[in-house]
Amino acid sequence: MRRAARPDRMASADDDGARDIDAGAVVADLLTWYDKSARLLPWRSPPGIAADPYHVWLSEIMLQQTTVKAVIPYYAKFLDRWPTVTALAAADIEAVMAAWAGLGYYSRARNLHACAKAVAEAHQGHFPADEATLLALPGIGSYTAAAIAAIAFDARATAVDGNIERVVARLFAVEEALPAAKPRIKALAARLTPHPRAGDYTQAMMDLGASICSPRSPSCLVCPVRRHCAAHARGIAETLPVKAKKGEKPHRFGAAFLAMRADGAVLLRRRPPKGLLGGMLEVPSTVWGPSMPDRGAALADAPFPAKWHPLAGIVRHTFTHFDLDLAVYRADGLPIGGQPPGGVWYPRASLAAEAIPSVMRKVLSHGLGQELGEE
């Protein structure tokens, strides 16, 4: 079995105040545990085996702001449909958006396609191995660039996601609140990163944070690096990392208009390519503002004059930065023929396969009286 190089021992008198720690011993204990206990994930290669850069990149983009459980079926579907980055680059963007529907943060899907095209065209279908070149690709930030470099190419790159951030904050008992503590945590994490086996180490840290060093009630008794952990020694592991208090999440309100043609087709329109839900299909709606529009104000923003009647109940959806309540108005039996400005009529049977975001699927399900599945 390959052994990780031992990073330099940290002295307690260093400039960031880190306690004395044998980084090499931390890494050795962590990798011994990982070799026996690594999570089996569809995009992950066994410890010590080189990973496919396309698989690593695809999974890392999908996992942003999303859970492993939610990502697995999407990852399998993408890989089955587009088994290589060049196949994904050649795909129609609308097909990619439709396959992504339900994962949220839809700008990621556009960037995913743009990145695939850049890799296919500028890098002959091969992901670059260094962080700087990876960082220049669409949709790849500092964390993702480091994760790909480490996991796919075993470069000594330091990726710090939420799990790793929590582990490092506890190992060194960093009591400064996030997000101000992020630079220090990143610097401490970089001192731990070994070479070789940087990729296994990165995934081991992710697994440790996901399965043992959890946000609440960490399982310190079974932690492979417990003997090195300053927070455990001081009995403060559950309190770290400290997070600055967030302000109350804003609440927005609006009205959506479900237009039904006599043949059952539904009117949808496409949102602007930039901004929230960029480029996705939506049920026409009012501006989302600080209060629920009354009937008169809502109907003034309807896509066209019709006999709009309000439906009972409210559609509620939570975005990362705000909560949304939508009242739904419906107009039935509209004449066949004609295309309202900016809108397209979609057969009701085709809706489940379209690139429609979750909030709009909720509106359609509410207005149609049935669940609208996601592909």
pLDDT at position 46 is 86
CATH architecture observed for domain 251-368: Alpha-Beta Complex (3.90)
Contact call for residues 282 and 355 (beta carbons, < 8 A): no
Contact call for residues 289 and 253 (beta carbons, < 8 A): yes
CA distance 305 to 340: 11
Strand partners, 345: 267
Residues of the chain with CATH 1.10.340.30: 23-239
85 Cβ contact list (under 8 Å, min separation 6): 54, 57, 116, 119, 120, 125, 127
Name the residue with tokens 């890392």.
60
Contact call for residues 77 and 86 (beta carbons, < 8 A): no
CA distance 118 to 131: 16
Give tens-digit pLDDT for 310-352.
Answer: 999 999 999 988 999 999 999 999 998 777 888 899 998 888 8
Residues of the chain with CATH 3.90.79.10: 251-368
CA distance 68 to 96: 20
CA distance 103 to 352: 14
Q: How confident is the model at residue 18 (pLDDT cuts 50, 70, 90)?
A: low
Give catalytic residues, as residue numbers: 60
CA distance 170 to 233: 10
Pull the structure tokens for residue 268.
Answer: 């949808």
pLDDT higher than threshold 60 for residue 15: no
User: Would you identify the CATH topology of the domain 23-239?
Assistant: Endonuclease III; domain 1 (1.10.340)
CA distance 255 to 327: 5
pLDDT at position 350 is 86
Contact call for residues 229 and 238 (beta carbons, < 8 A): no
Strand partners, 151: none
Q: CB-based burial of residue 142 (10 Å sphere; 0-12 exposed, 13-18 middle, 19+ buried)?
A: middle
Contact call for residues 342 and 269 (beta carbons, < 8 A): yes
First-last CA distance in the chain: 42
Q: How confident is the model at residue 182 (pLDDT cuts 50, 70, 90)?
A: very high
Radius of gyration, CA atoms only, the chain: 25
pLDDT at position 30 is 97
pLDDT higher than threshold 90 for residue 66: no
Question: What's the whole-model pTM score?
Answer: 0.76
Helices marked H in the chain — which ranges? 23-37, 53-63, 68-81, 85-89, 93-100, 107-122, 131-135, 142-153, 162-171, 182-192, 198-211, 230-234, 295-300, 358-368
φ, ψ for residue 38, nearest 5 deg? -55, 140
Q: How confident is the model at residue 371 (pLDDT cuts 50, 70, 90)?
A: low
Strand partners, 315: 326
